[in-house]
Structures are given as C-alpha cells and as structure tokens.
C-alpha cells in the first residue's frame, strides 16, 4: 500500500505540473470512505489519451477506444480515463462512441450509481455531484438519473447493481430496484460478464442478501425463462433462497456455493444451469460431482469411500464443509451429529491410510490381464477389488487380491454366458 500511495502522489504531482486535473474515482473512493482498502485505483482526468501515451514510457493500451490508458508504475497498473460523455448506446452494453470533455461533472453523470461517482483529488478532498455521499452514509445504491434509461443503455448495470449490494451490504433504492424488476432483460450482454457478476455475488460478504436480490429482481428467473427452461422443482426459488441462506455458513468458495445452489435441481437441469452461465468444463465437473454425492453418509462405508475416490480429498473436504454449513444453518442437532460422525470416520480413514484409489491397491492392471481380463473387464475388476478393500482393508495384499481376481473372473464369465 505504501508503494501505491507514493505512485498516486507521483501521478497527482505529475498532472498538476501539466495543468491537468486528476481525480481518484469510482470504487476506490467508495471503499476508502467506507474504511476499506481499495483493490485498485481508477483515475479520471481531462488529459487526452494521446497526451498520456506521449508522457509515460510504460503504458498499456487497456481501452483506448473509450479513453482509458493503463499506466504502469512500481505499485501496479493505474487505469486513467479521460473525462468523457457517452454517446448513444445501441447494443445494450456499449456507447456507440464517446466524446472527451474537460468538464468532470459530465464524466460523473455517465457513471452507473451515485456511490460509484464520487471523486477525490490529490489533497483528499471529496467531490460529490450526485448525492453519492448521502447514499453511501445510508447504504443505498441508486442509479444516476432515470434508472430505466440507465439500465437500457447498459444492461450489465442490473447485475452490477445487485453484486454491489451484496459486496457492500447495501440496499437498492426502490425506484432503481423496481426498474430492474420490471425489465430484467440482458440482451446484448455477454454471458461471461453475467457469470463474472454472479460469481462475485456467490462469494460476496452478504451472499444471502445478494441471492435474495437476484431472485427479487427477477434476474436469475429471466436467464432461464428466456430460454424457455422450466425447472421441475416448482419450488426452486424457495430452494435457492434456502441455499443462499446456508451459503453464509460455508467458506467463500465458488464451487462449494454453486453445488449448494444447484443440488435441488435435477441432474440435467444442473448441467443446463452451468452451461447457460458458461462455466468452464472444470467447474462444471466439480460442481456436478459434488451435487451427485451430496448425501454421503458413513453408514455405508463402501459408498463413503467411493465418494472420496470420486471427489478426491479436496472435494471430499468441500462436501463435509457443505454438510457442516447446512447443519449449522438448519440448527438441527441430528444433522450436526451426522456431520460429526462423518468427520470422525473420514479422519480415521486418512489416519489409517485405508486404500481409496486404484493406485492404492496391492495389485495393478497387469495382474488383471495376467488373469485373463480384457478391455472393460479390467475396469470392472478394479472397481470390484476396490469395493472389497473398502469394506475389508485387510484384504489389500497381493495374495488375497490375486485369489479374489481369479474368483471374480469366474463371476464375470458366468455373467457373460
């Protein structure tokens, strides 16, 4: 942070010497006023992009079309945007073009919410042209100007609004909220951007509040109704709300929380949900596996160990944290007892080093081939041997397993007759 402060001082001096205005704007001012450390600093100036590119050696062309230049200094990259006015929005996401201005007031008016439109100069003086300070004090997110107009210009702002409320524990002003509720359409916005906002809600400080707002504002419903998808669980909104509540009791981990959200859906619907939101193959796989194994219970030791094998130790720990979180949310002593027992059994398995994965077996694929297994039979044989040692770990030695392989080969042959 020390380096960042010295970089900022350098920039303020540098611009002042050239008779240019420079302000910190947006999330950084908001966060500082809330007593939080900003993750990055966006700046705004009346200097033109070409001027800045000319002045600095280390410049990244982050969004020159919209007047943003990234300046690389020892503490990081500082995005400096020239004061601008946005011309007509035609695609529901971007202005058709921008006009630079030397009037910071106009720049503030194009920003999304009043709490994101505060300016701070090099002396730490805050400038507020849109009632942002009052809204920040009362914890209100309010669109600047007419919310219907602002949301139809750039539909991503609807999701940004809810995400901001969840991250900052703020309420949405009534008129702003009603505007989203009445028109949750997001056409023109890429699903990757929506996914990004959705993930930020899922790992936000106030995830329960964020989930409630996503449903209240019809944003999640819209994604699916638009595709004519109707979940079989008619009560899915209620299940989602409960999941968003329980999420507050588990770590802020994306896959964990996605699995909690989706397990009340049918397997094909879960897949569809993740596909519509364009989650990566890796995330989809992890979340779907967690959902499939959601109810793991140590009363069936084979199933319990199979679950560890399938999810890996990391995934299994996630599953236990979900069970624990849901039990805490539910305040159900029976559930808490089950989780405690699951944890105890799992700790024992790890401590004893019970065989879990195929690589832990005292025999390997070659032993199966030597015993006459071919193709798919090998996989079948390995999973039968694993089931055996899951129940009786003491059989995990070559002699016992080789004789098991022989006798199981006969069972397979019988089955194929």
Q: Which residues contact 134 (CB under 8 A, 6 or more apart)?
A: none
Residue 64 backbone dihedrals phi, psi, to 5 degrees: -55, -35
**Contact of residue 163 among Mg ion, ligand ATP, none (CB under 5-8 Å per partner type):** none
8, 26, 98, 287: residue in contact with ligand ATP (rule CB under 6 A): 26
Site for ligand ATP in 139-168 (CB under 6 A): 154, 156-157
Asked if 122 contacts 9 with a C-beta cutoff of 8 angstroms, the reply is: yes
Torsion 111-112-114-117 (CA) sign: negative
Q: Of 112 and 326, which CB lies nearer to ligand ATP in the complex structure?
A: 112
User: How far, in Å, CA of 289 to CA of 292, rounded?
Assistant: 5
Asked if 66 contacts 98 with a C-beta cutoff of 8 angstroms, the reply is: yes
Interface with Mg ion, residue 147, by CB under 5 A: no
Cβ 103 to Mg ion shortest distance, Å: 22
Interface with ligand ATP, residue 326, by CB under 6 A: no
Interface with ligand ATP, residue 111, by CB under 6 A: yes
User: How far, in Å, CA of 370 to CA of 48, rounded?
Assistant: 76
**Contact of residue 156 among Mg ion, ligand ATP, none (CB under 5-8 Å per partner type):** ligand ATP
Q: Of 27 and 315, which CB lies nearer to Mg ion in the complex structure?
A: 27
Q: Which residues of 19-32 are buried (b: 16+ CB within 10 A; e: fewer)?
A: ebbbbbbbbbbbbb
Site for Mg ion in 324-383 (CB under 5 A): none
Helix ranges, 331-395 (H): 333-352, 365-370, 376-391
Interface with ligand ATP, residue 42, by CB under 6 A: yes
**Contact of residue 117 among Mg ion, ligand ATP, none (CB under 5-8 Å per partner type):** ligand ATP
Interface with Mg ion, residue 27, by CB under 5 A: yes
* Triad 192, 216, 174: Cα angle to 5°: 105
Q: Show the site string, 217-256: x = touches ligand ATP by CB under 6 A, - = not.
A: ----------------------------------------
What is the binding site for ligand ATP (CB under 6 A)?
26-27, 39-40, 42, 111-112, 116-117, 154, 156-157
């Amino acid at each position: 942070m020390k380096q960042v402060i010295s970089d900022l001082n350098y920039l303020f001096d540098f611009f002042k010497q050239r008779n240019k205005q420079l302000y910190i704007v947006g999330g950084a001012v908001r966060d500082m006023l809330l007593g939080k450390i900003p993750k990055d600093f966006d700046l705004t100036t009346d200097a033109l992009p070409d001027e800045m590119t000319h002045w600095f050696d280390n410049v990244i062309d982050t969004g020159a079309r919209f007047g943003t230049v990234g300046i690389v200094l020892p503490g990081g990259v500082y995005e400096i945007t020239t004061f601008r006015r946005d011309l007509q929005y035609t695609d529901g996401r971007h202005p058709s073009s921008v006009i630079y201005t030397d009037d910071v007031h106009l720049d503030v008016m194009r920003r999304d919410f009043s709490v994101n439109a505060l300016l701070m100069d090099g002396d730490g003086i805050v400038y507020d042209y849109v009632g942002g300070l009052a809204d920040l004090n009362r914890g209100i997110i309010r669109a600047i100007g007419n919310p219907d107009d602002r949301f139809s210009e750039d539909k991503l702002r609807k999701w940004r609004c809810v995400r901001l409320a969840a991250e900052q524990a703020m309420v949405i002003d009534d008129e702003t909220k009603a505007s989203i509720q009445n028109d949750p359409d997001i056409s023109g916005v890429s699903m990757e951007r929506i996914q990004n906002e959705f993930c930020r809600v899922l790992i936000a400080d106030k995830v329960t509040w964020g989930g409630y707002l996503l449903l209240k504002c019809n944003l999640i419903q819209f994604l699916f109704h638009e595709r004519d998808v109707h979940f079989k669980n008619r009560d899915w909104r209620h299940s989602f709300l409960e999941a968003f509540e329980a999420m507050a009791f588990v770590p802020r981990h994306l896959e964990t929380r996605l699995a909690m959200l989706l397990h009340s859906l049918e397997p094909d619907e879960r897949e569809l949900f993740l596909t519509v939101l364009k989650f990566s193959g890796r995330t989809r796989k992890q979340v779907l596996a967690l959902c499939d194994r959601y109810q793991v219970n140590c009363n069936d030791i084979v199933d319990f160990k199979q679950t560890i094998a399938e999810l890996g130790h990391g995934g299994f720990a996630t599953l236990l944290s979900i069970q624990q979180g849901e039990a805490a949310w539910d305040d159900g002593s029976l559930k808490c007892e089950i989780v405690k027992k699951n944890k105890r059994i799992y700790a024992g398995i790890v401590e004893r080093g019970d065989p879990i994965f195929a690589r832990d077996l005292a025999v390997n694929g070659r032993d199966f081939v030597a015993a006459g297994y071919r193709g798919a039979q090998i996989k079948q044989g390995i999973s039968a041997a694993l089931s055996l040692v899951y129940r009786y770990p003491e059989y995990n030695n070559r002699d016992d397993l080789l004789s098991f392989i022989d006798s199981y080969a006969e069972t397979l042959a019988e089955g194929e007759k």
